[in-house]
Amino acid sequence: MFFPISNSHISPIYLVVIGFLIGVMGGFFGVGGSFIAGPALRAVGLDWNFAVGTDLAHIVGKSVVAAKRHRALGNVDLRLGFIMAIGTMGGAEIGAQLIQMLKRAGSVNLVVSVVSIVIYVSISSFMIWETWSTLHFQKRRGARPKMAGPTAKQDESSFSHRTRAIQRFHIWPMISLPASGVRISLWVIVLVSFIGGMFSGFLGGGAGYIRMPMLVYVLGIPTHLAVGTDLFEIIISASYGTFSHAIKGNVDILIALVMNTGAAIGAQIGAISTQYFAGPKIRIAFVPLPLIGAAIVIYTMWTGQRI
Amino acid sequence: MMKADTSATLRAFLIELAVYSVLVTGYFFLVFHFLTGWLQELHLHHVKLYALVAIALIIGQAVVLESVTTGLFRLLRGRSE
């Protein structure tokens, strides 16, 4: 099928299947799925600037579906989501400006490819270490992993002593998040969201691949709430990112609309599935996803071929 | 008993996919027939309006699709998922 806005030929079935897979992952892990969608769009010949912008637009739609479902399950901390939106929008603009600079310099494809590989591999490595430590600690202590049901939302992490140290930074104003059971400085939330936003604008997507782990490890939000809140926040940040990229000519909305038809049903399935898994299990299942994204980017760079 | 439940869930899911595929295919034709030319024109000459329309379209489509998929889940499984 020909998409005149980006001047590209892409199979609509390919787009719907990619959308569906990303929808399942997004609903389950609270991520936009850009570490798959960006490389997948790039792999069929879209330039990185179009892949990044179009992916953001698709993520807005998918996150609306998944966040609505998570809200029904009680997994969204609205106060945290709104506060994070402020930092995210600032960061997203900086990221989008960096993309523009690289586009003008003619090195956007190479730089974004290399940065994305480094980020994806780093996140996966850290999460392997942390989740392995948590599960190992639970096993040594003789605790049974939490199963499905209300208690599954009570979370454990081997990184939690560092998280508590971060929460002890009493820099005014302190914010109470009763839904998440956390009290933390506003500036820590803004910093976390600013970093997430910057990656969102630069690498595309909602940057859930970096924000979801930061919500858990830096802010100390339970994994289930981190997933739902991240999705809610992604709606706001990805909408801003879409607008910013669209006025720079980087969004093919027709591609995003086609992808979103598959994502809508996938997001529902993913969100419902979170009820059946405890926090560390969700985190360990998250690990391969950024690595798949890195593998696709490496393949595309190495061979210069489209999938 | 559990096997029967799994089989029923799988069957319901496949019916959902089939119904959804028909709806989506029809929707593709509508969108591409009516919107392609207009969106391309906006993208080339009214880029700020294009950005706003793009966000409105993707959110509007998501809300409608969420209602459709939730409706299908409820209709075919006979309960609130």
The string of pLDDT tens digits covering residues A11-50 is: 989 999 999 988 888 888 877 777 778 888 888 888 888 9
Judged by a CB distance cut-off of 8 A, whether residue B61 touches chain A is yes
Q: Name the helix (H) or strand (E) containing A121.
A: helix A108-141
CA distance A126 to A123: 5
Report the C-alpha dihedral over residues B17, A207, A55, B27, rounded to 10 degrees.
Answer: 30
| pLDDT of B81 | 47
Domain that holds residue B41: 2-77
* pLDDT range class, residue A307, cuts 50, 70, 90: very low
Judged by a CB distance cut-off of 8 A, whether residue B77 touches chain A is no
Q: In the beta sheet, which residues pair with residue A8? A: A3
Q: What's the pLDDT tens digit per position in A162-177?
A: 888 888 888 889 999 9
pTM of this structure: 0.78
* pLDDT range class, residue B4, cuts 50, 70, 90: low
Q: Report which of A234, A215, A231 is spatially closest to residue A223, judged by C-alpha positions.
A: A215
Nearest by CB to residue B62, choosing from A61, A242, A249, is A61
Q: Which residue of A has its CA nearest to B24?
A: A261
Best mutation target, A20, A235, A239, A254, to test chain B (most B CBs within 10 A): A254
CA distance A112 to A99: 8
The answer to whether A36 and A296 are in contact (CB under 8 A) is yes
User: How many folded domains does chain B comprise?
Assistant: 1
User: Are the Cβ atoms of B51 and A242 closer than 8 angstroms?
Assistant: yes
The strand pair at A174-177 and A8-9 is best described as unpaired
CA distance A285 to A276: 13
Between the alpha carbon of residue B11 and those of residues A20, A270, B70, the distances in Å are: 19, 18, 17
CA distance A167 to A157: 15
The answer to whether A65 and B64 are in contact (CB under 8 A) is no
One-letter amino acid for residue B15 of the chain = I
| Tokens encoding A140 | 């040594």
Distance of CA B32 to the CA centre of its chain: 15
Nearest by CB to residue B61, choosing from A5, A16, A257, is A257
More confident residue, A220 or B3: A220
ipTM above 0.90, yes or no: no
Judged by a CB distance cut-off of 8 A, whether residue B47 touches chain A is yes
Q: What's the pLDDT tens digit per position in A223-280?
A: 889 989 988 888 887 888 899 889 989 999 999 999 998 888 888 788 878 777 766 7
Q: Which residue of A has its CA nearest to B59?
A: A61
| pLDDT of B46 | 94
Is residue A264 helix, strand or coil?
A: helix
Q: How far apart are the first and last CA of chain A?
A: 16
Token pair 């799988």 is found at: B10
CA distance A137 to A143: 9
In the DSSP assignment, the letter for residue A106 is T
More confident residue, A134 or A154: A134
| pLDDT of A142 | 65
User: Are the Cβ atoms of B51 and A268 closer than 8 angstroms?
Assistant: no
Residue B48 has pLDDT above 90, yes or no: yes
Best mutation target, A9, A13, A265, to test chain B (most B CBs within 10 A): A265
CA distance B68 to A123: 35
The residues in A 52-91 lying below 8 A from B, measured between CB atoms, are 57-58, 60-62, 64-65, 68-69
Judged by a CB distance cut-off of 8 A, whether residue B54 touches chain A is yes
Q: What's the pLDDT tens digit per position in A189-231?
A: 999 999 988 887 787 667 777 888 899 889 999 988 998 998 8
Q: Closest approach of chain B CAs to the CA of A114, in angstroms?
A: 29
More confident residue, A81 or A278: A81
